[in-house]
Chains A and B, each alone.
Chain A
């Protein structure tokens, strides 16, 4: 239930919400920053200015109406498919791990990984653009070879919190995993 100031890899403020439902069931929610009105204004204005410029030369009003449609549809698509409002990780001891991300429009995508498939949760390093970032990931077991890792499921993919936040989540996850 405690809130501490965390930042993501770009330095934007994010908040981590740890909720302990019982001793073996915890939920971590990372909420990323909201859509800033300035950004929306900049994009909308740039599209409209461009369309006005085109309209100035072509004198075709279809350009203007298409600009309005483009901005509206673009905004809708952005909040429905791109902008992730918060991501949560529900760890239930001996049952599994549930990863879900809620989009700004309310759409929710959830995947549940059963405990029998999970090998471990680790913090990993990755090269991202021109920097090296840390991320939390779930290692999945290979059904044929018990010791091998078949695939990796990265967590908090869109909010990308920094290491101090990840360590906190990691520690309490390991606490639960080691118990069960």
Chain B
């Protein structure tokens, strides 16, 4: 078997001492975590290792010895061998490195075999001589001598491995049914969990000195600590406000039928409830359990802050130089202009649109009906016009809650201001729908069939002569009137679709701001090792005679995967219909649902 030793890069130049780490059961691999230097008292080392084991929950043990002889420290071999009797282990690693050489050599003392400490020289200086003198034959001999025992050194960067999170994430306790986590995952977990081991500073004046990764002090750590302290009362305050807010929301008057229906349709209300839910997640006093929870919280916080910052930018633009008045002054003429265009469109439809010859009577009736509607709408807008500036002024304040609120409010205002287009669409659609249904049932009558409601199928049926006559007559009339209705329906559906498309774009941008995992993407860009997809190995040195040395690097997660994994789930504003279903609905004349955009698709 091949023995794998994961060796931290920071210990490459450590002074001689004891290797502390963990054997990964079932995989023949050892993770070296730290080197404890000479001189030490073995009892203290044992005590320290036990203490660390209790703190970290990792099965730590003394793996073996490490020697990097410096001047005047020769002849330690026998001493190192004796150490193995002090720390009883199944396997005792004796790793040594010569100054000025890159490769390590490793001896494994196996206690299990031959009762005592049977020694197996794995890679020796002798090998080199063998290879030189005997060539191939010598190599073969050496193979037999080794008894299939080989060593791979895998060098890893302790800090990066400790901080990184291997994807796909496996949270919580693994199922006992499935296999234990893979070797690499176990190795990552070991390094991540043994953080208490890394707190021992090399400048500390304790009985033990050790080499491992140690933080050089965080930048601005005082500010971070202060923020941590401040976040607790902030969270409490936030949760108090939230409970007050939910209490207000739960008052009975809001759950009455029309209000509830209205609030589920207004995108501002939806965004408000969504933000409340987010805030509830953020303000929970418990610290985040696990990586996923933490990333979720961080993503929510960052996107909230960015949202508010964008909203502030918008506010600073709106309330400077009287932009609001300008907007209000352009809004009413714009509405007038739209109404005038609509009137012209209707006039055009009432004549001979695109050279089509319509049924004149029906055409006139429909046209007048819609003209009257526009007239009503315009008078309504003019009635509103003095208040529009005030509405805009107070509505603009909502942007301080975030850009998303301003956008949702804009979407709602568009929905309200284009209410006449929606009405036209509904009238057109209802008329068209009735005609289509009438035609289809009369077509069945025409063929001597009828729809059996009980059996949900078409049955044949013998009609009386007068029934047939009347039915055929009605069928003809409906058929000839259909093009006129269809034309009105087509024009107003197109108008409605334009409005819906605009609203859809607004909703998509709101959804994007709400759900984009900014924190995760930032981590991926600035600290790419934090989110690792896997590892990659590079062969470091392959001098014959020394063990194989590999460098383990972290493979950062792909950006698309980052977005996919950490996207905050939002209220699904994506349409449930497929394109085909939508076209079918439009063709039959069923309503595409009122204010929720169902036509725009992001995917």
Q: How far is the CB of A122 from chain B (nearest CB, A)?
A: 22
Q: In the complex, what residues of B have CB within 8 A of residue A22's CB? A: 150, 542, 547-548
Q: In the complex, what residues of A have CB within 8 A of residue B27's CB? A: 116
CA distance A27 to B542 in the complex (A): 12
Q: How far is the CB of A153 from chain B (nearest CB, A)?
A: 13
Interface hits, A61-85 → B, CB 8 Å: none
Flag if B4 contacts A94 (CB, 8 Å): yes
User: Which residue, B179, B184, B535, B537, has most C-beta atoms of chain A within 10 A?
Assistant: B537
Interface hits, B181-200 → A, CB 8 Å: 182-184
Q: In the complex, what residues of B have CB within 8 A of residue A117's CB? A: 182
Q: In the complex, what residues of B have CB within 8 A of residue A23's CB? A: 143, 150
A111 close to chain B: CB less than 8 A:
yes
B256 close to chain A: CB less than 8 A:
no
Q: In the complex, what residues of B have CB within 8 A of residue A180's CB? A: 1-2
B536 close to chain A: CB less than 8 A:
yes
Flag if A25 contacts B548 (CB, 8 Å): yes
CA distance A23 to B361 in the complex (A): 95
CA distance A21 to B548 in the complex (A): 7
Flag if B179 contacts A143 (CB, 8 Å): yes
Query: Which A residue sits closest to B150, measured CB to CB?
Result: A24
Q: In the complex, what residues of A have CB within 8 A of residue B550's CB? A: 92, 95
Q: How far is the CB of B343 from chain A (nearest CB, A)?
A: 39
Flag if A92 contacts B182 (CB, 8 Å): no
Interface hits, B523-555 → A, CB 8 Å: 534-537, 539, 542, 547-548, 550, 555
* A95 touching B4 in the complex, CB below 8 Å, given contacts A110-B555, A114-B182: yes
Flag if B178 contacts A98 (CB, 8 Å): no
Query: Which A residue sits closest to B152, measured CB to CB?
Result: A95
A131 close to chain B: CB less than 8 A:
no
Query: Which A residue sits closest to B178, measured CB to CB?
Result: A143
Count of A-B contacts judged by CB separation below 8 Å: 61
Flag if A116 contacts B534 (CB, 8 Å): no
A55 close to chain B: CB less than 8 A:
no
Flag if A144 contacts B536 (CB, 8 Å): no
Interface hits, B134-156 → A, CB 8 Å: 143, 148, 150, 152, 154
User: Which residue, A22, A114, A144, has most C-beta atoms of chain B within 10 A?
Assistant: A22
Flag if A90 contacts B150 (CB, 8 Å): no
Interface hits, B553-597 → A, CB 8 Å: 555
Q: In the complex, what residues of B have CB within 8 A of residue A110's CB? A: 536, 555
Flag if B1 contacts A94 (CB, 8 Å): yes
B344 close to chain A: CB less than 8 A:
no
- Render A86-100 as a binary contact track against B, CB cut-off 8 A, 1 for contact: 000010111100101
A43 close to chain B: CB less than 8 A:
no
CA distance A143 to B550 in the complex (A): 27
Flag if B537 contacts A114 (CB, 8 Å): no
Interface hits, A159-180 → B, CB 8 Å: 179-180
CA distance A21 to B535 in the complex (A): 19
Task: Pick from B4, B28, B178, B534: contact of A144, CB below 8 A.
Answer: B178
Query: Which B residue sits closest to A180, measured CB to CB?
Result: B2
Flag if A112 contacts B536 (CB, 8 Å): yes
Q: In the complex, what residues of A have CB within 8 A of residue B539's CB? A: 21, 25, 27, 90
Flag if B555 contacts A112 (CB, 8 Å): yes
CA distance A111 to B536 in the complex (A): 7
Flag if A95 contacts B2 (CB, 8 Å): yes
16 A-B pairs (CB sep. < 8 Å): A21-B539, A22-B542, A24-B548, A92-B152, A92-B537, A92-B548, A94-B4, A94-B152, A95-B154, A98-B536, A100-B536, A111-B555, A112-B536, A114-B183, A117-B182, A180-B1
Chain B: residues with CB nearer than 8 A to chain A?
A: 1-2, 4, 27-28, 143, 148, 150, 152, 154, 178-179, 182-184, 534-537, 539, 542, 547-548, 550, 555
14 extra interchain contacts, Cβ-Cβ under 8 A, other than A23-B143, A112-B535, A180-B2? A21-B542, A22-B150, A22-B542, A90-B537, A90-B539, A92-B152, A92-B550, A95-B2, A98-B537, A110-B555, A112-B534, A112-B536, A116-B182, A179-B148
Q: What are the 7 closest A-B residue pairs judged by CB atoms, nearest first?
A: A110-B536, A21-B542, A94-B2, A22-B548, A21-B539, A112-B534, A114-B182
